[in-house]
Structure 1
Protein backbone atom coordinates (compact mmCIF):
# COMPACT_ATOMS: atom_id res chain seq x y z
CA UNK A 1 0.00 0.00 0.00
CA UNK A 2 1.45 3.38 -0.92
CA UNK A 3 1.77 6.23 1.58
CA UNK A 4 -1.44 8.20 0.84
CA UNK A 5 -3.81 5.18 0.78
CA UNK A 6 -2.11 3.78 3.91
CA UNK A 7 -2.63 7.06 5.79
CA UNK A 8 -6.26 7.21 4.67
CA UNK A 9 -6.88 3.59 5.71
CA UNK A 10 -5.30 4.23 9.11
CA UNK A 11 -7.38 7.39 9.64
CA UNK A 12 -10.59 5.50 8.89
CA UNK A 13 -9.58 2.61 11.18
CA UNK A 14 -8.85 5.12 13.97
CA UNK A 15 -12.32 6.68 13.62
CA UNK A 16 -13.95 3.25 13.74
CA UNK A 17 -11.88 2.10 16.72
CA UNK A 18 -12.56 5.24 18.75
CA UNK A 19 -16.28 4.80 18.17
CA UNK A 20 -16.11 1.14 19.31
CA UNK A 21 -14.16 1.87 22.48
CA UNK A 22 -16.34 2.16 25.54
CA UNK A 23 -15.65 1.84 29.24
CA UNK A 24 -16.83 -1.34 30.93
CA UNK A 25 -17.10 -1.26 34.71
CA UNK A 26 -14.48 -3.60 36.14
CA UNK A 27 -12.57 -3.98 32.85
CA UNK A 28 -9.29 -2.91 34.49
CA UNK A 29 -9.65 -5.63 37.13
CA UNK A 30 -10.52 -8.21 34.46
CA UNK A 31 -7.50 -7.15 32.40
CA UNK A 32 -5.22 -7.41 35.45
CA UNK A 33 -6.47 -10.87 36.35
CA UNK A 34 -6.19 -12.20 32.79
CA UNK A 35 -2.65 -10.94 32.24
CA UNK A 36 -1.42 -12.16 35.62
CA UNK A 37 -2.97 -15.59 35.00
CA UNK A 38 -2.34 -16.08 31.25
CA UNK A 39 0.64 -13.89 30.33
CA UNK A 40 2.53 -12.77 33.44
CA UNK A 41 5.92 -11.14 33.16
CA UNK A 42 8.87 -13.19 34.37
CA UNK A 43 10.20 -12.49 37.87
CA UNK A 44 12.43 -9.43 37.92
CA UNK A 45 11.15 -8.02 34.62
CA UNK A 46 11.20 -4.23 34.32
CA UNK A 47 7.70 -3.29 33.22
CA UNK A 48 7.00 -0.41 30.87
CA UNK A 49 3.36 0.50 31.34
CA UNK A 50 1.26 3.52 30.54
CA UNK A 51 -1.24 5.67 32.39
CA UNK A 52 -4.64 5.19 30.74
CA UNK A 53 -6.36 8.30 29.50
CA UNK A 54 -9.88 9.02 28.33
CA UNK A 55 -11.83 5.84 27.70
CA UNK A 56 -8.80 3.55 27.28
CA UNK A 57 -9.01 0.26 29.15
CA UNK A 58 -7.79 1.00 32.71
CA UNK A 59 -4.23 -0.10 33.38
CA UNK A 60 -3.83 1.13 36.95
CA UNK A 61 -5.04 -2.13 38.60
CA UNK A 62 -2.44 -4.06 36.57
CA UNK A 63 0.35 -1.55 37.29
CA UNK A 64 -0.40 -1.68 41.03
CA UNK A 65 -0.46 -5.50 41.04
CA UNK A 66 2.86 -5.71 39.17
CA UNK A 67 4.43 -3.24 41.60
CA UNK A 68 3.08 -5.27 44.54
CA UNK A 69 4.74 -8.37 43.04
CA UNK A 70 8.11 -6.60 43.21
CA UNK A 71 8.49 -5.49 39.60
CA UNK A 72 10.04 -2.17 38.73
CA UNK A 73 7.19 -0.40 36.93
CA UNK A 74 7.94 2.55 34.68
CA UNK A 75 5.75 4.91 32.68
CA UNK A 76 6.63 6.60 29.39
CA UNK A 77 7.63 10.20 28.94
CA UNK A 78 6.65 11.55 25.53
CA UNK A 79 9.63 13.31 23.93
CA UNK A 80 9.52 15.69 20.96
CA UNK A 81 7.89 14.16 17.88
CA UNK A 82 10.13 11.78 15.92
CA UNK A 83 11.86 10.31 18.99
CA UNK A 84 11.23 7.09 20.94
CA UNK A 85 9.66 7.17 24.38
CA UNK A 86 11.73 6.90 27.51
CA UNK A 87 10.52 5.52 30.84
CA UNK A 88 10.69 6.73 34.45
CA UNK A 89 10.00 4.57 37.52
CA UNK A 90 6.50 4.69 38.97
CA UNK A 91 4.95 3.36 42.14
CA UNK A 92 1.65 4.12 43.85
CA UNK A 93 1.87 7.66 45.19
CA UNK A 94 4.46 8.85 42.65
CA UNK A 95 3.95 12.50 41.72
CA UNK A 96 2.66 12.73 38.17
CA UNK A 97 2.91 15.58 35.71
CA UNK A 98 0.97 16.27 32.50
CA UNK A 99 2.62 15.49 29.19
CA UNK A 100 1.64 16.20 25.60
CA UNK A 101 -1.64 14.96 24.10
CA UNK A 102 -3.28 14.34 27.49
CA UNK A 103 -0.63 11.94 28.76
CA UNK A 104 0.73 11.83 32.31
CA UNK A 105 4.11 10.59 33.49
CA UNK A 106 6.22 10.52 36.67
CA UNK A 107 7.43 14.01 37.52
CA UNK A 108 11.00 12.87 38.09
CA UNK A 109 13.37 9.94 38.19
CA UNK A 110 16.18 8.50 36.11
CA UNK A 111 15.28 6.69 32.90
CA UNK A 112 14.97 2.90 33.05
CA UNK A 113 14.84 0.41 30.17
CA UNK A 114 11.85 -1.94 30.23
CA UNK A 115 12.03 -5.50 28.95
CA UNK A 116 8.28 -6.14 29.16
CA UNK A 117 5.83 -3.55 27.78
CA UNK A 118 2.13 -2.83 28.17
CA UNK A 119 1.20 -0.94 25.00
CA UNK A 120 -1.84 1.27 24.31
CA UNK A 121 -3.68 1.00 21.02
CA UNK A 122 -6.77 2.09 19.13
CA UNK A 123 -7.26 -1.09 17.09
CA UNK A 124 -5.65 -4.50 16.71
CA UNK A 125 -5.97 -7.65 14.67
CA UNK A 126 -5.16 -11.30 15.32
CA UNK A 127 -1.82 -11.08 13.51
CA UNK A 128 -0.44 -8.83 16.28
CA UNK A 129 -0.74 -5.64 14.25
CA UNK A 130 -1.56 -2.53 16.24
CA UNK A 131 -3.00 0.81 15.25
CA UNK A 132 -1.88 3.60 17.55
CA UNK A 133 -2.70 7.27 17.71
CA UNK A 134 -0.51 8.18 14.74
CA UNK A 135 2.62 9.66 16.32
CA UNK A 136 4.77 6.53 15.83
CA UNK A 137 6.14 6.72 19.37
CA UNK A 138 5.55 3.07 20.24
CA UNK A 139 6.74 1.82 16.85
CA UNK A 140 10.04 3.69 17.30
CA UNK A 141 10.30 2.57 20.92
CA UNK A 142 9.62 -1.10 20.13
CA UNK A 143 12.16 -1.06 17.29
CA UNK A 144 14.80 0.52 19.53
CA UNK A 145 14.19 -1.80 22.49
CA UNK A 146 14.08 -4.93 20.29
CA UNK A 147 17.43 -3.99 18.75
CA UNK A 148 19.10 -4.59 22.13
CA UNK A 149 16.60 -7.16 23.45
CA UNK A 150 15.06 -9.34 20.70
CA UNK A 151 13.02 -11.23 23.32
CA UNK A 152 11.22 -8.07 24.45
CA UNK A 153 7.57 -8.77 25.25
CA UNK A 154 5.05 -6.17 24.06
CA UNK A 155 1.45 -6.76 25.09
CA UNK A 156 -1.15 -4.45 23.62
CA UNK A 157 -4.15 -3.79 25.85
CA UNK A 158 -7.61 -2.79 24.68
CA UNK A 159 -11.28 -3.61 24.85
CA UNK A 160 -12.28 -6.65 22.78
CA UNK A 161 -14.54 -4.34 20.72
CA UNK A 162 -11.40 -2.65 19.33
CA UNK A 163 -10.48 -5.74 17.28
CA UNK A 164 -10.72 -5.26 13.52
CA UNK A 165 -10.25 -7.75 10.69
CA UNK A 166 -6.98 -6.27 9.44
CA UNK A 167 -4.99 -3.30 10.67
CA UNK A 168 -3.52 -1.29 7.79
CA UNK A 169 0.24 -1.51 8.26
CA UNK A 170 3.36 -0.08 6.72
CA UNK A 171 7.05 -0.94 6.93
CA UNK A 172 7.58 0.97 10.20
CA UNK A 173 4.71 -0.58 12.16
CA UNK A 174 6.04 -2.81 14.96
CA UNK A 175 4.02 -5.95 15.80
CA UNK A 176 2.93 -6.99 19.27
CA UNK A 177 3.79 -10.19 21.10
CA UNK A 178 0.21 -10.51 22.33
CA UNK A 179 -2.97 -8.53 22.89
CA UNK A 180 -4.93 -8.62 26.15
CA UNK A 181 -8.55 -7.56 26.44
CA UNK A 182 -11.17 -7.92 29.15
CA UNK A 183 -12.09 -11.23 27.45
CA UNK A 184 -8.72 -12.90 27.13
CA UNK A 185 -5.20 -12.93 25.75
CA UNK A 186 -4.65 -13.25 22.01
CA UNK A 187 -1.31 -14.59 20.80
CA UNK A 188 -0.56 -14.09 17.09
Structure 2
Protein backbone atom coordinates (compact mmCIF):
# COMPACT_ATOMS: atom_id res chain seq x y z
CA UNK A 1 0.00 0.00 0.00
CA UNK A 2 1.46 3.39 -0.95
CA UNK A 3 1.73 6.35 1.44
CA UNK A 4 -1.39 8.13 0.17
CA UNK A 5 -3.51 4.98 0.47
CA UNK A 6 -2.17 4.31 4.00
CA UNK A 7 -2.98 7.89 5.05
CA UNK A 8 -6.51 7.59 3.68
CA UNK A 9 -7.07 4.32 5.54
CA UNK A 10 -5.74 5.77 8.81
CA UNK A 11 -7.93 8.90 8.68
CA UNK A 12 -11.19 7.05 9.43
CA UNK A 13 -9.72 5.25 12.45
CA UNK A 14 -8.11 8.49 13.65
CA UNK A 15 -11.42 10.35 13.47
CA UNK A 16 -13.11 7.64 15.55
CA UNK A 17 -10.33 7.66 18.17
CA UNK A 18 -10.48 11.45 18.38
CA UNK A 19 -14.27 11.45 18.78
CA UNK A 20 -14.06 8.95 21.65
CA UNK A 21 -11.33 10.96 23.38
CA UNK A 22 -13.26 14.21 22.86
CA UNK A 23 -16.30 12.74 24.60
CA UNK A 24 -14.14 12.00 27.66
CA UNK A 25 -12.95 15.65 27.91
CA UNK A 26 -9.57 17.28 27.48
CA UNK A 27 -8.47 17.41 31.09
CA UNK A 28 -5.26 19.39 31.62
CA UNK A 29 -4.46 19.75 27.89
CA UNK A 30 -4.70 23.57 27.93
CA UNK A 31 -2.44 23.78 30.99
CA UNK A 32 0.19 21.71 29.18
CA UNK A 33 -0.25 23.80 26.03
CA UNK A 34 0.23 27.08 27.92
CA UNK A 35 3.46 25.77 29.43
CA UNK A 36 4.73 24.42 26.10
CA UNK A 37 4.13 27.79 24.41
CA UNK A 38 6.14 29.71 27.03
CA UNK A 39 9.13 30.32 24.69
CA UNK A 40 6.84 32.35 22.41
CA UNK A 41 5.11 34.50 25.08
CA UNK A 42 4.27 37.96 23.80
CA UNK A 43 4.84 36.95 20.17
CA UNK A 44 2.29 36.26 17.42
CA UNK A 45 0.45 32.99 18.05
CA UNK A 46 -1.67 31.22 15.44
CA UNK A 47 -4.37 29.05 16.94
CA UNK A 48 -7.40 27.54 15.29
CA UNK A 49 -11.15 27.44 15.71
CA UNK A 50 -11.95 23.85 16.74
CA UNK A 51 -14.30 21.92 14.49
CA UNK A 52 -16.19 18.75 15.31
CA UNK A 53 -14.16 16.71 17.81
CA UNK A 54 -10.88 18.66 17.60
CA UNK A 55 -9.25 19.44 20.93
CA UNK A 56 -10.06 23.03 21.93
CA UNK A 57 -7.22 25.59 22.20
CA UNK A 58 -9.54 28.59 22.74
CA UNK A 59 -8.82 28.99 26.49
CA UNK A 60 -5.10 29.36 25.71
CA UNK A 61 -5.73 31.68 22.78
CA UNK A 62 -8.09 33.90 24.80
CA UNK A 63 -5.49 34.34 27.56
CA UNK A 64 -2.46 34.83 25.31
CA UNK A 65 -0.31 37.86 26.12
CA UNK A 66 0.43 38.75 22.51
CA UNK A 67 -1.37 38.96 19.18
CA UNK A 68 -3.43 35.91 18.20
CA UNK A 69 -4.49 34.92 14.72
CA UNK A 70 -6.36 32.04 13.09
CA UNK A 71 -5.88 30.37 9.71
CA UNK A 72 -7.82 31.40 6.65
CA UNK A 73 -7.95 29.05 3.67
CA UNK A 74 -7.44 31.23 0.59
CA UNK A 75 -7.80 28.41 -1.93
CA UNK A 76 -6.82 24.84 -2.75
CA UNK A 77 -3.10 24.36 -3.19
CA UNK A 78 -2.23 27.63 -1.43
CA UNK A 79 -0.66 28.20 1.98
CA UNK A 80 -2.82 29.47 4.81
CA UNK A 81 -2.96 33.14 5.73
CA UNK A 82 -3.61 34.28 9.28
CA UNK A 83 -6.10 36.91 10.39
CA UNK A 84 -6.01 38.59 13.81
CA UNK A 85 -8.47 37.05 16.27
CA UNK A 86 -9.81 38.16 19.65
CA UNK A 87 -12.55 36.51 21.72
CA UNK A 88 -14.81 39.40 20.65
CA UNK A 89 -14.15 39.00 16.90
CA UNK A 90 -17.20 38.56 14.70
CA UNK A 91 -16.73 35.13 13.14
CA UNK A 92 -18.07 33.94 9.79
CA UNK A 93 -17.79 30.59 8.00
CA UNK A 94 -14.69 30.36 5.80
CA UNK A 95 -13.74 27.90 3.10
CA UNK A 96 -14.04 24.29 4.26
CA UNK A 97 -16.33 25.30 7.14
CA UNK A 98 -13.86 26.73 9.65
CA UNK A 99 -14.88 29.95 11.35
CA UNK A 100 -12.71 32.97 10.53
CA UNK A 101 -12.76 36.60 11.68
CA UNK A 102 -14.95 38.74 9.43
CA UNK A 103 -12.23 41.39 9.36
CA UNK A 104 -8.84 42.14 10.87
CA UNK A 105 -5.16 42.51 10.13
CA UNK A 106 -3.18 39.78 8.42
CA UNK A 107 -0.39 38.55 10.71
CA UNK A 108 2.63 36.28 10.35
CA UNK A 109 2.81 33.86 13.29
CA UNK A 110 5.92 33.07 15.31
CA UNK A 111 4.29 29.91 16.67
CA UNK A 112 1.36 27.82 15.47
CA UNK A 113 -0.97 25.54 17.39
CA UNK A 114 -1.63 22.88 14.76
CA UNK A 115 -4.74 20.65 14.71
CA UNK A 116 -4.40 17.07 13.53
CA UNK A 117 -6.05 13.70 13.14
CA UNK A 118 -3.08 11.61 14.31
CA UNK A 119 0.59 11.99 15.24
CA UNK A 120 3.65 9.92 16.00
CA UNK A 121 6.60 10.43 18.34
CA UNK A 122 8.81 11.54 15.46
CA UNK A 123 6.69 14.71 15.22
CA UNK A 124 4.79 13.83 12.07
CA UNK A 125 1.06 14.45 11.81
CA UNK A 126 -1.81 13.16 9.78
CA UNK A 127 -4.12 15.97 8.73
CA UNK A 128 -7.22 16.08 6.59
CA UNK A 129 -5.26 15.67 3.37
CA UNK A 130 -5.28 19.17 1.88
CA UNK A 131 -1.62 19.90 2.67
CA UNK A 132 -2.44 23.39 3.97
CA UNK A 133 -0.29 23.24 7.10
CA UNK A 134 2.60 21.53 5.29
CA UNK A 135 2.72 24.24 2.60
CA UNK A 136 2.33 26.96 5.22
CA UNK A 137 5.03 25.64 7.54
CA UNK A 138 7.42 25.15 4.64
CA UNK A 139 6.97 28.79 3.57
CA UNK A 140 7.13 30.22 7.08
CA UNK A 141 10.23 28.18 7.97
CA UNK A 142 11.97 29.35 4.79
CA UNK A 143 11.52 32.97 5.91
CA UNK A 144 12.19 32.76 9.68
CA UNK A 145 12.21 30.37 12.63
CA UNK A 146 8.66 29.36 13.57
CA UNK A 147 7.36 26.91 16.16
CA UNK A 148 4.82 24.24 15.20
CA UNK A 149 3.02 22.74 18.19
CA UNK A 150 0.59 19.91 17.50
CA UNK A 151 -2.42 19.81 19.82
CA UNK A 152 -4.25 16.52 20.18
CA UNK A 153 -5.67 13.89 22.48
CA UNK A 154 -3.26 11.15 23.51
CA UNK A 155 -5.59 8.63 21.85
CA UNK A 156 -4.62 10.15 18.49
CA UNK A 157 -1.06 8.84 18.72
CA UNK A 158 -0.01 6.23 16.15
CA UNK A 159 3.18 4.15 16.18
CA UNK A 160 4.09 5.49 12.74
CA UNK A 161 2.46 8.14 10.55
CA UNK A 162 3.11 7.56 6.84
CA UNK A 163 5.33 10.37 5.55
CA UNK A 164 5.68 12.02 2.15
CA UNK A 165 8.56 14.34 1.16
CA UNK A 166 6.32 17.41 1.53
CA UNK A 167 5.25 16.60 5.12
CA UNK A 168 6.52 19.11 7.67
CA UNK A 169 7.34 17.80 11.17
CA UNK A 170 6.01 19.38 14.34
CA UNK A 171 8.41 20.71 16.97
CA UNK A 172 6.36 19.13 19.73
CA UNK A 173 2.92 17.70 20.40
CA UNK A 174 0.78 18.56 23.41
CA UNK A 175 -1.91 16.22 24.77
CA UNK A 176 -3.96 16.02 27.94
CA UNK A 177 -1.18 13.82 29.37
CA UNK A 178 1.68 16.22 28.68
CA UNK A 179 4.21 17.10 25.99
CA UNK A 180 5.71 14.78 23.40
CA UNK A 181 9.10 16.00 22.18
CA UNK A 182 10.26 14.37 18.94
Q: TM-score range by the shorter chain?
A: over 0.9
- 1:36 corresponds in structure 2 to 34
Show CA shifts across 1:81-122 (max 9, x none).
000000011111101110122211111112100010000100
- Alpha-carbon distance, 1:37 to partner: 2.6
1:173 corresponding residue in structure 2 = 167
Q: Which residue of structure 2 aligns with residue 102 of structure 1? A: 97
How far apart, CA to CA, are the structure 2 residues paired with 1:18 and 1:10?
A: 12
Give the match for residue 65 of structure 1. Answer: 63
1:11 is the counterpart of 2:8 = yes
Q: Give the TM-score of the pair, scaled to structure 2.
A: 0.94
Change (3 A) 1:62 1:25: farther
Contact 1:126 1:187 in 2 (8 A): yes
Counterpart CA distance in 1 for 2:38 and 2:24 is 23
Flag structure 1 segments of 5+ consecutive residues without an equivalent: none
Other structure's SS at 2:100 match: strand
Match of 1:48 in 2: 46
TM-score between the two structures when normalised by the length of structure 1: 0.91
> What CA RMSD, in Å, does the superposition of the two structures yield over aligned residues?
1.4
Distance in 1 separating the partners of 2:25 and 2:62: 15
Q: Following superposition of structure 1 onto structure 2, how do residues 100-179 of structure 1 map, counting pairs within 5 Å?
A: 100-149=95-144, 151-179=145-173
Structure 1 outlier segments of 4+, above 3 Å: none
Secondary structure of the corresponding residue to residue 87 of structure 1: strand
Q: Distance in 1 between matches of 2:36 and 2:139?
A: 27
